[in-house]
Structure 1
Amino acid sequence: MAKLLFHLGNVPDEEAEEVRRLLDEHAIATYETRAGFWGLGVAAIWLRDENQREQARSLIDTYQQTLGERMRDEQARLAAQGEAPTLWRRLKRRPLRTLLLALLAAAVLAVSLLPFLWLLD
Structure 2
Amino acid sequence: MPHHLMNLRHVPDDEAEEIRALFEAHDVRYYETPPSRWGVSMGGFWVHDDDEAARARALLNEYQQQRLETQRQAFRERLAAGEGSGIWSMIRRRPVRTLAAVVAVVVIAGISLLPFLRIG
- TM-score range with shorter-chain normalisation? 0.7 to 0.9
Distance 1:82 1:94, change over 3 A: closer
Distance 1:70 1:103, change over 3 A: same
Distance 1:12 1:71 in 2: 12
Distance 1:44 1:25 in 2: 19
CA deviation after TM superposition for structure 1 residue 77, in Å:
1.7
Which runs of no fewer than 5 residues in structure 1 stay unpaired? 115-121
Distance 2:50 2:100 in 1: 50
Q: Which runs of 4+ in 1 moved over 6 A?
A: none
May I ask how many residue pairs the two structures share in their alignment?
109
**In structure 2, what residue type is equivalent to 1:16?**
A
Q: Secondary structure at the match of 1:4?
A: strand
The answer to whether the Cα contact below 8 Å between 1:90 and 1:98 also exists between their aligned partners in 2 is no
Distance 2:70 2:38 in 1: 34
Distance 1:103 1:76, change over 3 A: same
Which runs of no fewer than 5 residues in structure 2 stay unpaired? none
TM norm structure 2: 0.74
Counterpart for residue 7 of structure 2: 7
Distance 1:38 1:27, change over 3 A: same
Counterpart for residue 101 of structure 2: 100
CA deviation after TM superposition for structure 1 residue 98, in Å:
7.2
**In structure 2, what residue type is equivalent to 1:103?**
V
Counterpart for residue 61 of structure 2: 61
- RMSD between aligned residues: 2.7
| Higher Rg | 2
Counterpart for residue 73 of structure 1: 73
Identity %: 34
**In structure 2, what residue type is equivalent to 1:100?**
A
**In structure 1, what residue type is equivalent to 2:9?**
G
